[in-house]
Structure 1
Amino acid sequence: MWQNLPQVHVLNEQEVARAVRRRQFLLQTAGLAGTTAAFGLTGCSSREDVQLDLLVASYDKSVGASLGGQWDSIVPAFEKQHPGIRINLERVPYNKIDKTLAQRVEEGRAPDIAQSNVFAPYAEDDRLYDLTQLLDIATQADFIRAFTDAGTVDNATYGTPFRASTPRLFYNKELFRRARVSGAPTSWDELREAAQALKAIGVKTPYGLQFGPEAADDEALSWLLAAGGGYTGELAEYDFATSDNIGALSWLRDELVADGLAGAAPAELNRTAAYAQFLQGEIGMLLAHPVLLGAADRAKLPYAHAPFPKKDGGAAAPLGISDWLMAFRRNGHRKECGAFLSFLYSGKSALTRSGGRSMLPVTYSASDAATGNPAEQPLSPFIEQLSNAHFAPVNMRSWPAVRGAIRTDVGQAVMKGGDPESVLASFDESAVKADMEAATG
């Protein structure tokens, strides 16, 4: 008699947690429902022939990834659904996007929507719409919470996450086999032992420590998080010269760099060069983002990846990074900006925007779809890290200046004769100076 009853789906822990997060968000923002619904963001604009200026980054293909090409399909699809809105798409090289946007804003020519690494100064200057003014509540609730927290300034979210990523420890399986290393290290002592074994068989750079100026801030933060430290303290203020941070950089100096286990010049090794050297078999292991997956497959490199280890064992808190989209108030195109962002972060468009194996989705729904798609299974371990991702203080106006100091100087802390405590103290000084300039600027 029971055989015809419908089967009941039992929620797993991730599904339960996600449902709780969404319910909490909806309850917290229920009072905004009427206001947001009144915007009419998901339908066509009531205006005719509105042009939205969209400024985005273009990328090279040095690592074999195709990034940014999704706009060629998204823009026409949006315009087809919204015949009264035209998108004026402008691509700027990625390494110039922040400077270009800052110059446009200073000249009074801010685009309607822009991609950038920097959003806090524009938010604090009241130049941006926040997400409650652009997106309905369901769309807001769908963003992975760690990313919306990172995009929040003064209790309002202005940075819309875009091109999300989180790194893992990649390693060359063939080199590990030859060095008789059984698998990925699960502590810093094991990482050092693996590096020693790789060096013994002639590997040029056992661990690719990327402390060159291209992305030293990301590499350094991953190591600090793994030691229980970070760039900020409990009150979300800069706090560099802590015992955990000093200990992490001292360990790198004494246990990895001093013995040549991080190559000849880790303070000069940039991310792009490190990826290329890994693909050539010159680096045994390194922290890398999912953009490396496709390139390694095409190179037929025998690789694997694992969580970055905590100092004393286990998986470290993962680093999260993202570019951001922001909508400027200057032209008064709130409804049109909201319509475009709603389209971008809904349904199939969100999957398209995730960029295949080059970058990760930033919404729960797109993450679920990606991990359930056999073609996207290699991304699953990266996607699973996103909810616990820790970010640099990108929502602080002073962060670009502080980041610049880290990129320039952190490598010196781990070289022979380096003084981690002094270098970290200098970052605290840079942070105070940057905060003062931000407050008076």
Structure 2
Amino acid sequence: MSLFAHRKRGLLIILLQLAAVLFTGCIREDGHGSASTNPEAKASITFVAAEYSSSTKPYFEKLVKDFETKYPNIKVELQVINWDILDSAYNTMISRNEPPDLLLTNIYAHFAKDGLLNSMDDILSKELKDDIYPYLMESSKMEGTQYTVPYVATIRQLYYNKDIYNEVGITQPPTDWKSLEEDARKIKETKQVDGFGVDLTDNEIWAYLSYFFYGAGGGWMRNGEWAINSPENVEGITFLKDLYAKGLTDAEPTVTTRDEKQRILGNGKLGMLISGNYFEAVVPHEYPGLKWGKGPIPVKEGQTPLVLGVQDVLMSFKTDHTNKEALSKFLDFMYESARYEEFVLREGFLPTIQTVGSKLAKDDPAMKQNLDAIKTAKFYPIQDPAWSAVLNATRNMGQTVLLGQTSPKQALDRLQQIALNKSH
């Protein structure tokens, strides 16, 4: 799953964007991109980045322009692609044997297993590697090899509309499932608006599964082995399904996305939802009069308070045009403190490098709190090659579970089998 994205653009825009990707692929100019270590030789880099917001593309376009001004012998061919079509776009490139030199997304291990990725140890400068928070680097490793580098991170928390809370007499956010259900019912019955927003769309379902897996004391894996159909996970999804059946969630968990629900909350029509810390930068900006608060993700009574961390990563594909020296310069440029700080603040992320993290934490108590929290966060198992297949299999299970077409146990049994099959 990705971090902050205004993912639901118009269908026409998405189709046009995909068409452009399919036709252009990863075209390189003649004479560019030879595998050379000569700094005077011309080189090219194809860079495919996920689009987080309307600000993403202008930011990266300026970054590329500034980089090419500094390094006129390195040409960067940029594509910023909406999350809705990102997977299909880069998979098309790979199927044509035209993978990007650099890709920013949220999964990687199946590519590493197939031998498609360069080791980042051969690309990262020592200065940059030493600057990245070590605990964020762990999930970027497979069998001791550093295949990716974390670019941005978030933590997930419960966000709520303070005005709604005050009107119905809720004094603090729920910390356990019992109070979550009680508060959602109070909001629904008193205000006649939805109590708890749930995103089970194909953009975010794995996040909500994680909240209730971990909240029940389960998780995706246990002791290094897949444990998707554990009794704890079944209990967590059963509780979520029951909330929906009782009318205590929003009416369309499989239709409206997290970003859309954030706007519904900002507009006073939703009491609470779980989102990333980018909520704090984006929603109050769109709704200046909004009074909002946050709390921990509610868990089953007796369970440890939950912090879920999410990170998106940069990876480098092996190509005939790979120029590791050029890639190293480009990464150093991307993570340069002032430039990287601008991106983090613009998109509402947590920084993954210590120079920027220390600076922002010093000036912003909320940033310090979030950076402290992510140190002990649970993450998706992105370092397992089966994760990509598991993630894809979750995309359409929300509706079948909510409508009773399959039981939570049956749905999780299927995911478990997919994980085991892809692990061998």
TM range (shorter): 0.7 to 0.9
Q: Once the 2 structures are TM-superposed, how far is the Cα of residue 367 of structure 1 from its aligned partner?
A: 1.5
2:397 is the alignment partner of 1:409: yes
Change (3 A) 1:132 1:229: same
Q: Once the 2 structures are TM-superposed, how far is the Cα of residue 60 of structure 1 from its aligned partner?
A: 5.0
Q: Once the 2 structures are TM-superposed, how far is the Cα of residue 89 of structure 1 from its aligned partner?
A: 1.8
Which 5+ residue runs of structure 2 have no aligned equivalent?
1-36
Specify the alignment match of 2:262 in structure 1: 275
Q: Work out the CA distance in 1 between the residues paired with 2:52 and 2:132.
A: 25
| Structure 1 contact 75–87 (Cα < 8 Å) conserved | yes
- 140-149 vs 238-247, which moves further: 140-149
Q: Once the 2 structures are TM-superposed, how far is the Cα of residue 68 of structure 1 from its aligned partner?
A: 4.0
Helix, strand or coil at the partner of 1:111: coil
Q: Once the 2 structures are TM-superposed, how far is the Cα of residue 180 of structure 1 from its aligned partner?
A: 0.3
Q: How does 1:100-249 map to 2 (within 5 A)?
A: 100-235=89-224, 237-249=225-237
| Structure 2 contact 168–191 (Cα < 8 Å) conserved | no
Matched letter for residue 390 of structure 2: V
Helix, strand or coil at the partner of 1:52: strand
Q: Work out the CA distance in 2 between the residues paired with 1:295 and 1:315.
A: 29
Q: Once the 2 structures are TM-superposed, how far is the Cα of residue 313 of structure 1 from its aligned partner?
A: 5.6
Which 5+ residue runs of structure 1 have no aligned equivalent?
1-43, 437-441
1:132-186 CA-to-partner distances (Å, cap 9, x unmatched) read: 1112334223323343222222221212222322221000000000110001112
Q: Which of 353, 358, 374 is the aligned partner of 2:343?
A: 353
| Structure 2 contact 177–300 (Cα < 8 Å) conserved | yes
Superposition misfits of 4+ residues, deviation over 6 angstroms: none
| Structure 2 contact 140–150 (Cα < 8 Å) conserved | yes
1:260-313 CA-to-partner distances (Å, cap 9, x unmatched) read: 111334344432332232122211000012332222333121111122133226
Specify the alignment match of 2:73 in structure 1: 84
| Structure 1 contact 205–261 (Cα < 8 Å) conserved | yes
| Structure 1 contact 188–313 (Cα < 8 Å) conserved | no
1:203-262 CA-to-partner distances (Å, cap 9, x unmatched) read: 421011212322111111022112221111112x321111211221222233x2232111
Specify the alignment match of 1:390 in structure 2: 378
Matched letter for residue 282 of structure 1: K
Matched letter for residue 275 of structure 1: Q
Q: Which of 273, 285, 294 is the aligned partner of 1:305?
A: 294
Matched letter for residue 163 of structure 1: V
Q: Work out the CA distance in 1 between the residues paired with 2:286 and 2:72.
A: 41
2:327 is the alignment partner of 1:337: yes
Q: Which of 51, 56, 73 is the aligned partner of 1:58?
A: 51
| Structure 1 contact 67–358 (Cα < 8 Å) conserved | no
Matched letter for residue 59 of structure 2: Q
2:307 is the alignment partner of 1:296: no
- TM-score, normalization: structure 1? 0.80
Helix, strand or coil at the partner of 2:357: helix
Q: Work out the CA distance in 1 between the residues paired with 2:261 and 2:414.
A: 27
Q: Once the 2 structures are TM-superposed, how far is the Cα of residue 124 of structure 1 from its aligned partner?
A: 2.1
Matched letter for residue 49 of structure 2: V
2:253 is the alignment partner of 1:266: yes
| Structure 1 contact 320–389 (Cα < 8 Å) conserved | yes
Q: Once the 2 structures are TM-superposed, how far is the Cα of residue 346 of structure 1 from its aligned partner?
A: 3.5
Q: Work out the CA distance in 2 between the residues paired with 1:92 and 1:275.
A: 22
2:272 is the alignment partner of 1:285: yes
Matched letter for residue 239 of structure 1: A
Percentage of pairs with the same residue: 21
| Structure 2 contact 357–371 (Cα < 8 Å) conserved | yes
Change (3 A) 1:48 1:352: farther
CA RMSD of aligned residues (A): 2.4
Q: Work out the CA distance in 2 between the residues paired with 1:74 and 1:208.
A: 36
- TM-score, normalization: structure 2? 0.83
2:61 is the alignment partner of 1:72: yes
Change (3 A) 1:329 1:434: closer
| Structure 1 contact 402–427 (Cα < 8 Å) conserved | yes
Specify the alignment match of 1:370 in structure 2: 360
Helix, strand or coil at the partner of 2:217: coil
Change (3 A) 1:410 1:298: closer
1:420-441 CA-to-partner distances (Å, cap 9, x unmatched) read: 22221121122233335xxxxx
Matched letter for residue 295 of structure 1: V
Helix, strand or coil at the partner of 1:372: helix
Specify the alignment match of 1:48 in structure 2: 41
Matched letter for residue 423 of structure 2: D
Helix, strand or coil at the partner of 1:210: coil
Q: Once the 2 structures are TM-superposed, how far is the Cα of residue 45 of structure 1 from its aligned partner?
A: 6.3
Matched letter for residue 215 of structure 2: A
Matched letter for residue 370 of structure 2: F
Specify the alignment match of 1:6 in structure 2: none
Q: Work out the CA distance in 2 between the residues paired with 1:259 and 1:427.
A: 26
1:337-361 CA-to-partner distances (Å, cap 9, x unmatched) read: 1111122224223313324352221
Change (3 A) 1:365 1:307: farther
| Structure 1 contact 203–283 (Cα < 8 Å) conserved | no
Q: Work out the CA distance in 1 between the residues paired with 2:283 and 2:107.
A: 28
Change (3 A) 1:424 1:125: closer
Q: Once the 2 structures are TM-superposed, how far is the Cα of residue 318 of structure 1 from its aligned partner?
A: 1.8
Matched letter for residue 352 of structure 2: V
